[in-house]
Structure 1
Amino acid sequence: MNRILSLYMPALLLFMLMIGCKKDNFEKPAALLSGRVVYDKEAVGLRSNGVQLELWQSGFELFSKIRVYVAQDGAYSASLFDGDYKLVRLRGNGPWVDNTDTIDVKVQGNTVVDVPVQPYFLVRNNTIEKSGTTEVKATFSIQRIADGRALESVSLFVGRTNIVDAVNNQGSAVVSAGNIPDLTAPVTITMNIPAGLAGQAAFYARVSVRTAGVAEQIYSQPVKIE
């Protein structure tokens, strides 16, 4: 038995070495596709990894999608091989008017492609600051961009880190649309600083707008409160 093993051992080692070389020589994606989700060339604020895009590449045995998640500042990126791709905005996946038209993308090295969208509303001219020592106050304007859906509510979120949204927060305050009679006037939201943040040297806050019948919200960029 030992003699048989000794006879086959060199061949086994050679086989394992060949497999190892193939793994080491496996080509990894060397190109980077990146960009922003934008309206009028301005990045939109979103929930961290709450919205995704899809990339499709044809011409291969398997025609499968590549999920690409969008960061809260509207930026996205994906490591890819050079080639021709189709980028898709998913129906019902973002706080904007559905647009499922594909965007043809030619990836060659580092490629930058912004993805245009049409939000229903945007947050404008936002100011978030402490009010005294126990409260946070946000003042901002709501700009309607697209018709077809009503405003549902606006919110103020606070958290320990700059990743703060409807899912990641230490506290929030919501004002329903019924309490905002005039969308052309500035909106103010005030909330008590949560106990978990009261002793912090700094924390973060941002405001959002929710459209009726739309799952995701449009956000302002996070503000550091000291």
Structure 2
Amino acid sequence: MKLHQLSYIFLILAGILSACEKDNFDPPKSTLTGRVIYQNQALGVRSNGVQLELWQPGFQLYSKIPVFLNQDGTFSASLFDGDYKLVLLRGNGPWVDNSDTVNVQVRGSAVVDVPVQPYYLIANETFGNNGTEITASCRVDKISGDRAVERVILYIGATQFVDSNNNVGRVEKEGADLVDLSQNLSFSTAVPAAVLAKGYCFGRLAVKTVGVAEMLYTPVQKIQFR
């Protein structure tokens, strides 16, 4: 066999061995979990619609690790042990922008809460039914900032994942209905025929702030109607 052929075979084998070594790297085994909170209460959001950013200084490739929030305001990330910086993505949540950095040390596992200042909160929410109609009521409390309320929405879902992208029905209040936020808001909407046979659905209220893309949501509530 000619020398250049042997060299070619050696290069192929070396490439295969190198690829195997890369495939055999251990995946990250440590876990970072936490919540986005206001007054120690997690804030509801759209599932995978709001994200945080993790950065790990000291590496040549200094790039962000996106961490998406669950609909109940919790998050989780699998990481290598190390020191990280956790920051809010500007303009991405239903709260006032905050440039503060949370330093996180991950050694096996770590738990961290990220405090924010929401523009508005939904309070005293109730859900029920009147025959084949779903009813709800709530109050909207202003928390911070100078932005107005754009709308308040009741979403109906066939599953426990309910938001602006995952719903089978909705009804909203806006404009004149939101002039006096000290008054309770009442909602009523028919149960979609496709859900009626199940005997239950899921409800969730959301408040939209003017000029803010993402909404703040209440916890999902299961509603029985038979």
Give distance in 1, aligned partners of 2:20 and 2:49: 39
Q: Does the residue aligned with 2:204 lie in a helix, a strand or coil?
A: strand
Equivalent in the alignment of 1:131? 130
Q: Does 1:83 align with 2:76?
A: no
Alignment partner for residue 204 of structure 1, among 190, 193, 202?
A: 202
Q: Shift in Å at residue 201 of structure 1? A: 2.4
Q: State the identity as a percent.
A: 48
CA contact (8 A) 1:96 1:117 kept: yes
How far the C-alpha of 1:28 sits from its partner, in A, is 1.5
Q: Could you say what secondary structure the match of 2:60 adopts?
A: coil
1:146 pairs with 2:144:
yes
What SS class does the counterpart of residue 139 from structure 1 fall into? strand
**Aligned 1:184-195 pairs, distance under 5 A:** 184-195=182-193
Does structure 2 retain, via aligned residues, the 8 Å contact 1:154–1:177?
no
Query: What code does the residue aligned with 1:41 have?
Result: N
Q: Is the 8 A contact 2:149 2:178 kept in 1?
A: no
Which 5+ residue runs of structure 1 have no aligned equivalent?
none
Deviations 1:9-33 (A, max 9, x none): 9968964773465135312211111
- What's the Cα RMSD here? 2.2
Unaligned residue ranges in structure 2 (runs of 5+): none
Q: Output the CA distance in 1 between the equivalents of 2:109 and 2:167.
A: 34
1:57-85 per-residue CA deviation (whole Å, 9 max, x = no partner) reads 11111010111100100011111111111
Q: CA deviation at 1:42?
A: 0.3
Runs of 4+ in 1 over 6 A off after TM superposition: 6-10
TM-score using structure 1 length: 0.90
1:9–1:219 CA distance, 2 compared to 1 (3 A): same
The 3-state SS of whatever aligns with 2:182 is coil
1:63 aligns with 62
- Distance in 1, Cα, partners of 2:56 & 2:15: 33
Question: Which letter does structure 2 place at the counterpart of 1:141?
Answer: R
**What is aligned with 1:101?**
100
Deviation string, structure 1 residues 108-130 (Cα, Å, up to 9, x no partner):
11100111110011111211111
Number of the residue aligned with 1:180 = 178
Partner SS for 1:113:
strand
Structure 1 partner of 2:161:
163
Partner of 1:119: 118
